Chains A and B, each alone.
Chain A
């Protein structure tokens, strides 16, 4: 079990007065205080961990966020920022003495500038709504986490979110040009802007992926890109994971730059096929979905080249989509995978990343570890960039099963680090991987990162108990308060 810090009873004792003062900043109905309503904010996508916050506040403007920050700072109240609450890492798990600052009312598109290919939004807007705002004019916003229908840009910035199409277009940090950020003390600061690089230190890089621990971004300027004329996938089946892994490396090396390169292993294929009837072969060990984009002629040429590169690896199935219906069918199984597995069991979705050359070995060891814990693991992931998403199936109502699933998850992430990879490719550390940080970094390296937080949030009140192991952060905070 992952521990959370002991809530500060002195803060909880001030709850009524803090609620009153928040009601002077935002309309009364935007301060959530009843236990029934607070329950909606007790967890995020990592729903094995739940803790209702002391209060929730839902501001409409940057000025209100600034006033809320000033109030909380003066009272020493921890703030947990929340976009849509889809984090799979517990990135917005509250503490009992915290105010959750929700961005859900701040959803406006502020400016679209096609000539400079930028969009300015409030950060409570969903990822898909950004693309939705520019799609009629032939543009899109590139990062596409699978929760894109629900997840907020604010959360994407906090976690530096990726997605299936990041292979070609990069993750959030590569598509973020500027933010308006409210600092811990309530000061509103602009970082970057509607231009390609910022002057001085690259603060935008630090802010993106800082898991809401350096400040709260209320507005963002994002890059938008012209959408390709079309896109089409191709499906390959292989007899072993190893060969499928080699084929992935061959495609990347050949410079064929697919927009997506997705991998499914046998357990994932079986579950998805039974659920979605996508027409996947059931006699293969691994499937690759490779998608390319461009004009019809470009698509054909790229797919032909990919087929030629993959041929030496003797795929047992080769299926090229010829039209939109066939494309949808190939994607149907992949897109249904998580839902299909969810129908069978509770699952934990991991997010390690490894070098491509390590993929086959990591998959093999994953299967061995799953066997050791007597749990099922399905693998559906972004193979082009080595970003694994093992889905560990377990029973949430069975404490023994939950414990085993968590232990297996930790073992698998340690394996990724051992293989020269990392704990998290796109979901973030949150609370989930906090205690594993010392497997990837040594104490000095983490202390150097903690020093960055000291600079932005001297009192350490922003998104407490995330990212850093409590064994390091708690004494550090005590030392700072004593000094």
Chain B
């Protein structure tokens, strides 16, 4: 049964109905990211698609409040009109997951989708000023607000970001937005090994150049985007003179790594959306770890399994593609990662594999207890996306 309420009260009613029936409730926006997390069996589904209005947009305050079902496309168009943009550059998972429809703001926030600009401007959670949500008892609640600084009470809005709808149904989100830069340029160094590339990115990020994205594409991956060898990429923004000055400084500082040349294509959408791994049937992992350890992890994995990798966030975010098999190499990947620290999320695999393998990094006992405690206090009946994050 699919419910598509067009009011917040309708959302609350749908949750209350599910509570009365003790029926699990699947929460979705446009459904483009349903392949993330563990597969869900739910008799009831609620779609936020019809809650798609803009509550408030104040360009002079860099503040936007919109309902969860608003599409990112409509949001981008609105912001574009004022030459503004979202801070966290949310990835579009359609190509990677083979889904269709228009991704919604609520979906991006629920899965904490943050793109290359996360490095400089923060993640989805950092952009959130406040939100409205319906908890598992059907109460409509507010958290945070719409002002830039707010420490009034616990930071519940950020908790909701990345909770995959397991703690509440987000109905409205207040965001900090940002102006678009006058100039956006990308420079590249060709042919570096992974280790050298991450060192080059670290050197660039240690300079006050406001680098807004930093990625490394090893040889085979880079070819997917039309490069002829490994590409180490930096995005620089600002006013024209500012961008030119910053590039000049980077060229100088990175000379030891190789020639820094400006490229005239934009690789960042493809990197954001992991296009290099789209359209095949391999399992895809997303690993958050210390940047300088990342090439060591990848090298160690290459000795164990057949794996392709690339790096975003200066190396702090590793994307891996490997044969799906029975467990998507979860044991090898997590065991190797444990030696460095960080966490791995299985971003793409068949339902069977995502049901069998922990999609999110297994929690240590005290944190698992806290997670279960929060779940039971936000959703006592256990009806909101049950099992989406943990079995």
A425 adjacent to B208 (CB under 8 Å)? no
B342 adjacent to A202 (CB under 8 Å)? no
Interface residues of B in 275-296 (CB under 8 A from A): 288-292
CB distance from B378 to the nearest CB of A (A): 7
- Known interface pairs A301-B241, A422-B150, A452-B377; A294-B208 also in contact (CB < 8 Å): yes
The stretch of B13-21, B23-31, B157-165 that contacts the partner chain:
B157-165
- Known interface pairs A160-B155, A467-B153; A357-B58 also in contact (CB < 8 Å): yes
- Known interface pairs A200-B367, A226-B206; A385-B149 also in contact (CB < 8 Å): yes
A401-437 contact mask (Cβ, 8 Å, vs B): 1 or 0 = 0000000000000000000111111111100010001
How far is A198 from B126 in the complex, measured between Cα atoms in Å? 13
Chain B interface residues (CB < 8 Å from chain A): 58-63, 82-84, 112, 114, 118-119, 122-123, 125-126, 135, 139, 141-143, 145-156, 158-159, 161-163, 167, 178-181, 199, 202, 205-208, 238-239, 241-242, 245, 288-292, 313, 316-317, 341-343, 345, 360-361, 363-364, 366-367, 370-371, 373-374, 377-378, 389
CB distance from A352 to the nearest CB of B (A): 9
> Chain B residues with Cβ under 8 A from A202's Cβ?
112, 125, 158-159, 161-163
B150 adjacent to A174 (CB under 8 Å)? no
B149 adjacent to A425 (CB under 8 Å)? yes
B163 adjacent to A356 (CB under 8 Å)? no
> Chain B residues with Cβ under 8 A from A372's Cβ?
none
How far is A252 from B179 in the complex, measured between Cα atoms in Å? 9
Interface residues of A in 344-359 (CB under 8 A from B): 353-357
Answer yes or no: A451 CB below 8 A from chain B CBs.
yes
> Chain B residues with Cβ under 8 A from A454's Cβ?
373, 377
Residue from B155, B159, B181, B242 with most neighbouring chain A CB atoms (10 Å): B155
How far is A40 from B118 in the complex, measured between Cα atoms in Å? 43
Partner of A437, one of B146, B153, B373: B153
How far is A453 from B154 in the complex, measured between Cα atoms in Å? 9
Partner of B370, one of A203, A252, A384, A387: A203
> Chain B residues with Cβ under 8 A from A424's Cβ?
150-152
How far is A199 from B84 in the complex, measured between Cα atoms in Å? 30
- Known interface pairs A187-B366, A250-B60, A441-B142; A354-B147 also in contact (CB < 8 Å): yes
Residue ID in chain A nearest B202 by CB atoms: A115
Interface residues of A in 307-366 (CB under 8 A from B): 353-357
A196 adjacent to B288 (CB under 8 Å)? yes
CB distance from B342 to the nearest CB of A (A): 5
> Chain A residues with Cβ under 8 A from B378's Cβ?
448, 451
14 A–B pairs (Cβ distance < 8 Å), ordered by A: A117-B205, A159-B151, A162-B149, A195-B290, A200-B367, A202-B159, A206-B158, A210-B154, A253-B82, A294-B242, A422-B147, A429-B153, A448-B141, A456-B370
> Chain B residues with Cβ under 8 A from A117's Cβ?
205-206
CB distance from A163 to the nearest CB of B (A): 10
The stretch of A10-18, A25-33, A165-173 that contacts the partner chain:
A165-173
> Chain A residues with Cβ under 8 A from B114's Cβ?
197
Answer yes or no: A78 CB below 8 A from chain B CBs.
no
Partner of A425, one of B147, B153, B207, B292: B147
B208 adjacent to A357 (CB under 8 Å)? no
> Chain A residues with Cβ under 8 A from B123's Cβ?
196-197
> Chain B residues with Cβ under 8 A from A113's Cβ?
290, 292
11 more A-B contacts (CB under 8 A) besides A197-B114, A252-B60?
A113-B290, A193-B341, A195-B316, A201-B162, A208-B155, A209-B155, A293-B208, A294-B242, A298-B242, A357-B58, A429-B151
A201 adjacent to B371 (CB under 8 Å)? yes
Answer yes or no: A282 CB below 8 A from chain B CBs.
no
Answer yes or no: A48 CB below 8 A from chain B CBs.
no
How far is A209 from B62 in the complex, measured between Cα atoms in Å? 23
Partner of A420, one of B145, B208, B291: B145
> Chain B residues with Cβ under 8 A from A208's Cβ?
155
How far is A380 from B332 in the complex, measured between Cα atoms in Å? 57
- Known interface pairs A206-B154, A356-B61, A421-B147; A197-B206 also in contact (CB < 8 Å): no
Answer yes or no: A254 CB below 8 A from chain B CBs.
yes
> Chain A residues with Cβ under 8 A from B238's Cβ?
298
Residue ID in chain A nearest B126 by CB atoms: A174
A200 adjacent to B363 (CB under 8 Å)? yes
A205 adjacent to B208 (CB under 8 Å)? no
Answer yes or no: A249 CB below 8 A from chain B CBs.
yes
A195 adjacent to B342 (CB under 8 Å)? yes
A170-196 contact mask (Cβ, 8 Å, vs B): 1 or 0 = 110110000000010001010101111
Residue ID in chain A nearest B147 by CB atoms: A353
Residue ID in chain A nearest B141 by CB atoms: A445
How far is A483 from B367 in the complex, measured between Cα atoms in Å? 24
Answer yes or no: A4 CB below 8 A from chain B CBs.
no
B154 adjacent to A193 (CB under 8 Å)? no
How far is A183 from B369 in the complex, measured between Cα atoms in Å? 12
A427 adjacent to B149 (CB under 8 Å)? no
- Known interface pairs A200-B361, A252-B60, A445-B141; A425-B290 also in contact (CB < 8 Å): no
> Chain B residues with Cβ under 8 A from A257's Cβ?
179
A425 adjacent to B159 (CB under 8 Å)? no
CB distance from B344 to the nearest CB of A (A): 8
> Chain B residues with Cβ under 8 A from A420's Cβ?
145-147
How far is A294 from B373 in the complex, measured between Cα atoms in Å? 47
> Chain A residues with Cβ under 8 A from B363's Cβ?
199-200
Which 9 pairs show the lowest CB-CB distances between chains A and B?
Answer: A255-B179, A205-B158, A199-B343, A455-B373, A385-B148, A425-B149, A249-B60, A451-B377, A199-B361
> Chain B residues with Cβ under 8 A from A115's Cβ?
199, 202, 206, 291-292
A356 adjacent to B60 (CB under 8 Å)? yes
A113-144 contact mask (Cβ, 8 Å, vs B): 1 or 0 = 11111000000000000000000001100000
Residue ID in chain B nearest A455 by CB atoms: B373
- Known interface pairs A301-B239, A353-B149; A205-B288 also in contact (CB < 8 Å): no
CB distance from B149 to the nearest CB of A (A): 4
Partner of B151, one of A203, A301, A384, A427: A427
A386 adjacent to B143 (CB under 8 Å)? no
A229 adjacent to B151 (CB under 8 Å)? no
Residue from B156, B206, B238 with most neighbouring chain A CB atoms (10 Å): B206
How far is A302 from B366 in the complex, measured between Cα atoms in Å? 50
Answer yes or no: A146 CB below 8 A from chain B CBs.
no
CB distance from B177 to the nearest CB of A (A): 11
> Chain B residues with Cβ under 8 A from A149's Cβ?
none
A255 adjacent to B142 (CB under 8 Å)? no
CB distance from B243 to the nearest CB of A (A): 10
B149 adjacent to A426 (CB under 8 Å)? yes
- Known interface pairs A117-B205, A196-B313; A386-B179 also in contact (CB < 8 Å): no
B112 adjacent to A197 (CB under 8 Å)? yes
How far is A117 from B123 in the complex, measured between Cα atoms in Å? 17
A253 adjacent to B59 (CB under 8 Å)? yes
A444 adjacent to B141 (CB under 8 Å)? yes
A452 adjacent to B374 (CB under 8 Å)? yes
How far is A241 from B162 in the complex, measured between Cα atoms in Å? 41
- Known interface pairs A115-B292, A226-B207; A203-B367 also in contact (CB < 8 Å): yes
How far is A194 from B340 in the complex, measured between Cα atoms in Å? 11
> Chain B residues with Cβ under 8 A from A354's Cβ?
147
